[in-house]
Amino acid sequence: MSARARVVTVGETMALLRSSTIGSLAHLPSVDISLGGAESNLAIGLQRLGVQAAWISRVGADPLGTRVVREIRGEGVEVRCAVDPERPTGLMLKSRPTGTTTRVDYYRAGSAASALSPADLPDGLIEEAEILHVSGITPLLSPSAREAVRVAVERAVAAGMTVSLDVNHRSRLGSAEHLA
């Protein structure tokens, strides 16, 4: 990327399998593949608005990880993503069992993003930006991911940057007290 990122995001992006048809995924003939991740969604949206953005994370050394990186990079976002040969890319399944309900199943335990650590934070990238954006999801993935977010925020604050937090609470990951 030629211009420095004005906004840097740190967090998990998962492959998203979903069907536009009403019914259980167990019985539907096909699904669409896309992405799901608050931090990368923000980076993509900003990039589409002409704001240089970067995304820091981890994906698995698998086809879904390749797709996540390719699609985010394809939007013009600067991708700083470790590829983990030991852990898979997280997966989210989204369905509409009825016309008025949505079901979401997460397969993220032991994922590459759950192994995010301070070592995955590139030197200088955060400090050279204007804004750091994080969510409340990534710190709940694991102790090392929580430490990565904490260190990223500390580095941003020390550099005099603005820090943006999307709480984006997911009760299945942990309590608000656990996040604090």
125-135 average pLDDT score: 96
User: Structure pTM?
Assistant: 0.88
**In the chain, domain spans:** 7-179
Q: Which of 108, 103, 95 is nearest to 17 (CA)?
A: 95
Q: Which of 57, 55, 48, 108 is nearest to 84 (CA)?
A: 57
Q: Which of 94, 15, 108, 101 is nearest to 62 (CA)?
A: 15
Q: Which of 18, 15, 14 is nearest to 28 (CA)?
A: 18
List, for residues 53-90, the tens digit of each pLDDT value.
999 999 999 999 999 999 999 999 999 999 999 999 99
Give bridge partners of residue 164 from the DSSP assignment: 133
Q: Which of 92, 93, 77 is nearest to 133 (CA)?
A: 77
According to CATH, the superfamily of the domain at 7-179 is Ribokinase (3.40.1190.20)
Residue 2's pLDDT band (cuts 50, 70, 90):
very low
Contacts of 176 (CB under 8 A, 6+ apart): 169
